[in-house]
Structures are given as C-alpha cells and as structure tokens.
A and B are shown apart, each in its own frame.
Chain A
Amino acid sequence: MVELAQNLIDGLGRGSIYALLALGVAVVFGVMHLLNFAHGELITVSGYAAFWAITNGWSWWLVVPLIIVVAVLTSLVIERLAFSRVRGASQFTLLLTSFGVHFVVSAIFLLYVSASVKNFARPAWTTQSTWALGPLQIETFDTVVIVVTILTLIGTNLLLQRTMFGLALRAAAADFDTARLMGVRSDTVIRGAFALSGLLAGIAGVFWLMRAGSTTPSAGIDPMLKGVLAALIGGLGSLRGAVLGGFALGLAEVLLRSWLPGSIAGLTEGFVFALIALLFIFRPQGFVSVAHAERV
C-alpha cells in the first residue's frame, strides 16, 4: 500500500512534466493539425542555453527564466522559418517537415558544439532533499514539479477561458475558417499557439533539465516522444485529453517499472511504447475522441 502510494506520487511528478509537454503539442495540433515531432528541440535549445549560462556562472534563479524565454523564442523562430511555409499542407508533408526540423536543430548543435554530453551543475535540492508524509518519503523536487505544474495548468486554463486570445485559440481550433470570418487573425492565433506551446515546453524544460543535468544534440527525442505520445493517448485536438494523457503516461511508466521483474525492468519504455501502439490499434482516436465528420 505504502509502495503503491509512493509510486503514485512518483508517477504524478513524472506525469506533470509530460502533461506540460503534451499540452504544448496539443495546442499546436489544434490550430494547425501539425503533430510536432520537433517539440523536443525546444528543450534541446534551452538545454544548451542553460549549459552556457551555468558554465558562465549564472545562478539557477536566472537560468530558469532564461530556459523559458529561449524555449518561447525557439518555438516562434521554428514556426516562422519552417511551419509557416507548410500551413494547410497534407499530413504527410506536415509530419516530415517537423521530423526535418528535429534533425536540422540537432545537427546544428552537432556541428557547432559537439556530439558529446554537456553536463552542468544541478541545484542541490533537486537531488537530495526529501520530506516525510507519514510513511511516505516525498522528493522535494517532485513536490515542486507537481505544484508548479498545477499552477501552470490553472494559469493556462485562465488564459484559454478568460482572455480574448484564449477564446480566439479555442475558436480557431474548433473551426479555423469560421474563426477567421469572425475576424480572428490566422497569423496571430498560430503564432500565439506556438508561443504558448513554447512557454509550456520551457516550464517543462526547466524540470527536465534540472533532472537530467546535461544535454546532447539528440536530447530532444525523449521529451518529444513523451509529449507527442501523451497528446496522442489523450486524443489529438483535446487539451484536457493531453493533460490526462501526460499523467497517464507518467503513472504507467512508474508502475510498470516497479511491477516488471528486475531482469526486464530495463524494458519499461519498450513496454510503454508497445502499450501505446496497442491503444492506437484499438482506439486510434485516443481516450478523449474529437468527432470529425467528413462530407462526402
């Protein structure tokens, strides 16, 4: 029982980061129908910025905003240079464009930094500090992650529900043409979606990088996969589904890791991927399906 509770908390911590990543993927998919395989690059770029700042003696208090700002700017630049040119293209083109962006970004770091792992110091509290809740040992880091994630989700929700921009974003995701008829500017809403996606990835990236303490040119693959898969689990196009998918993915990983016998525990990720493939086979629309009717 205690172990299960412990796992649930670990899973929530992990799932929080995935939820933020997935929400960013879902926001962009909503307005552009682009499944962004380059979402993880926001963390790659931020990671190198963090590495640079820390090696130059910045304190983490400054590195955190730096990571977030870099993620937002990277998201906007990628939209401007690549995705704005394939708006409305076929799914095939969109998928491969984002795949191409992933490679170009990681190759640039390969070219101008190096292929080797760049390590940087993590704040002490992210690794050693825990606090007790009854019989449970809870990591301070997990606690912070969960609290910040909840605050971010509340903030995002307020942004989407209460502001004209949020309203425009939701309207555009539901029916882009009609939103334009209402005067919603397509550039504004698409760039806004990329900025929001970058902001969420930036916050997730802070935690991701604090946990990893390093970055490499291909560091984006892992967060990209987590974000994309979680968004898909939840059902593409559904923001709530993406958040749920993130938490579900985090919990599934932690629980599988603790249940699988030691000899194959290394295969946790493999099992998770296989489970997700099975989910798609039997429920290609995800848990939270968004109805689409094709006019014949």
Chain B
Amino acid sequence: MSLCFSADKLKEVQQIIARYPEGRQKSALLPVLHLAQQEFGGWLSTEAMDYIASLLGLQAIEVYEVATFYSMYNLKPVGKQVLEVCQTGPCMLNGSEAIVAYIYERLGIRPGETTADGLFTLKTVECLGACGYAPMLQLGKNYREHLTREKIDELIAAASDRPVVATT
C-alpha cells in the first residue's frame, strides 16, 4: 500500500487510540480520519480509507459508512484552500448570500466548484456556531468572521501570493 502515515503521525494515532478503553479503538476512527485528511491532500480517497481500516483493525465498510456520514470529510479532491461559507438562518440574515455571490465574482466558482489553478474550493455549509459574528466562513482550522468584501479580497490575496500549505 503506497499511502502511509509518517512515524510521527503513527505515534499520534497511538495516542488517539489510548484515549479510549482497551478494545474500543473503533472510537479513534473520527479523529484518525481527520488526521488522514490533513496528511493525504485534504480529502479521503478509497485508498486512504482502506489504509485507516487496516490501521484500526476495522472492515473497510465501517470506515466508508462513517466517512460518508460526516460533512467535514471530503470524498473528492479539493483546492488547497477550502472556503466554507455558512448559509444558515442567522448568517443569511446578515448577508451570507452576498458573500457567496462575491466569491463567485472574484474567483468564478460556485458552491462545490474548484478554481482551475486548484487553489480554491467554495463550499456552502450549514451553521458553524458563529451566528453572532455573521457572515462567516471557515478556512482550514480557523473561522473568518464579520466578513466583508474587503476581507474576502484580503484572504484571496494572502492565499494566492505565498506558497500555500495544505490546511487541516
């Protein structure tokens, strides 16, 4: 199998497994899938999921059914920067639709699409728990809140100008 965690990451997997009682290592699946997505290019290929199954001693189907259930796992390749714009009620009341439209204006991508250069993917997501700081988007591990057109410009510029590291 070509996909493999580094020695460091394998150690991290062991630490995750140790959070649960003996024999309950299936519980490590969600956190280990987060780690796999971070390490293997921002998405979970079948190969990656099969690897995780073998690592945790699970059937492949046990991994597939979980990976397909949760919205944070990407099952297709994504851009290096994934702009996840919240569109639920409170964000909508504060202009999230205009933010999605402005990203289209700037990058030419609609929800679910990736720019031709592979830099940006736009996703619309449901409530991320930042309702008081709307409109907002998630970029990697961080929330960008109180969004304006200027802030979108800034984050596009910041992501395009310097070498981009895959975010988690």
Q: State whether these chains interact.
A: no
